[in-house]
Amino acid sequence: MQRSSPRRARALARSADPYDLYERSVQDPPRDVAFVDRWFRRYRGRTPLHLREDFCGTAALCAAWVRSDGRRTAEGIDLCPEALAAGRRRHLEPLPASARARVRLVAGDVRTVHRRAVDVTCALNFSYCALHERRDLVRYFRRVRRGLADDGIFVLDVLGGRDAMIDNEERHDHGAFVYVWEQTSFDPLTHRMKAAIHFEFPDGSRIHRAFAYDWRLWTVPELCDALVDAGFARVHRLWERTGRDGEFTGSLYEPKGAVSNEDLWWTYLIAEA
C-alpha cells in the first residue's frame, strides 16, 4: 500500500499497526462479499466462485471471499510487497489450511500481471485512481476484461461530488484512535487530487501520513466510456438511496433516469464482460 514516511511517532502511535487501523477505518470485507454476491446473482443468475482483488493491499477481501464458501477461490494483486506481507500475516495465516490453499497473492502491476479467468474482479477504494492517463486506464480495463469468464463482471467504486474536489478534512472517532482523511489539493484542470490518511491517539501521538494518495479523480462518464472502449459489453451505474432525512441509507439500486446531486457521494459501477 502507498505508505509514506511517517514522522517520528511516539507511544500509542509507535505500537499501532497502520494496516490494522486502515482496515478498521475504511474496509468491510464481509459486506463487500455480500454486495458482490448479490449483484452477480442479479445479472448472471448463478453463484460467483472465483474472484480477483486488484490493488488488494492486505487482501482482506480475498480472505473474506474464501471464508464465505468452501468452493471459492481468490487472487489478490498488488505492487507493494509490504502490504502483501501484512496481508499474509493478518488474513491468510489465520485461515484454515483448506481455505488458505484457495488464495493466491501476486506481487505485480495490475496492468501487466497474467490473469486466469475469474467470475468477478474488484478494484475497490478508488484504487484505479492511481492511474492518471486514460490510455493506462483503458489498458488496465482491457486486461481486466480479458481475465474474466464469458459472464464475468468487474466491480469498481467511484468517489465524487463537490466536497471531493476541495481541500478538506474528515475525522471519524473510533474510540481507540481517530481516523483523519485529509484532501490537500485538487486541480480542476486535470482532476489530480492529493490526499492522506493520518491516525491520532488519545495520548496525543499521531501517525502522520500513514497512507498518501496521488489520484486522478475520474468521473462516472469518463469511466463508463473507458470501460466500453476496453470492450465491456455493458456498464451498470448504481446509486445509493436517500432516506426522508436526505441522508444516504447504504442501499444501492440501478436508477433508470437522473439522480439528485449530492455534495459528496460514493457509488459503484458494474461492468459486464
Ligand X SMILES: C[S@@+](CC[C@H](N)C(=O)[O-])C[C@H]1O[C@@H](n2cnc3c(N)ncnc32)[C@H](O)[C@@H]1O
Please state the closest distance from residue 123 (CB atom) to ligand X, in A: 8
How many angstroms separate the most distant Cα atoms in the chain?
54
Please give the Cα distance from 19 to 265 (Å, whole number): 25
Residue from 73, 121, 125, 205 touching ligand X (CB under 6 A): that is 125
87 binds ligand X (CB under 6 A): no
State the cell numbers at 92: 491468510
109 binds ligand X (CB under 6 A): yes
Please state the closest distance from residue 112 (CB atom) to ligand X, in A: 8
Please state the closest distance from residue 258 (CB atom) to ligand X, in A: 29
Q: What are phi and psi of 26, to 5 degrees?
A: -125, 0
85 binds ligand X (CB under 6 A): no
193 binds ligand X (CB under 6 A): no
Please give the Cα distance from 179 to 199 (Å, whole number): 5
State the cell numbers at 6: 511517517
Please give the Cα distance from 44 to 151 (Å, whole number): 7
Nearest to 123 by CA among 147, 100, 151: 147
Please give the Cα distance from 130 to 54 (Å, whole number): 12
Instruction: For ligand X, give the closer residue by CB, 131 or 205.
Output: 131
Instruction: For ligand X, give the closer residue by CB, 108 or 255.
Output: 108
Residue showing the smallest CB distance to ligand X in the complex? 57
Site for ligand X in 6-65 (CB under 6 A): 26-27, 55-57
3-state secondary structure of 196: strand
130 binds ligand X (CB under 6 A): yes
CB 201 within 8 A of CB 188: no
80 binds ligand X (CB under 6 A): yes
Residue from 110, 223, 224, 270 touching ligand X (CB under 6 A): that is 110
- 2: DSSP letter: -
Please state the closest distance from residue 17 (CB atom) to ligand X, in A: 15
Instruction: For ligand X, give the closer residue by CB, 2 or 242.
Output: 2
Count of other CB atoms within 10 angstroms of residue 187: 12
158 binds ligand X (CB under 6 A): no
Chain contacts with ligand X (rule: CB under 6 A): 1-2, 26-27, 55-57, 77-80, 83, 109-111, 124-125, 127, 130
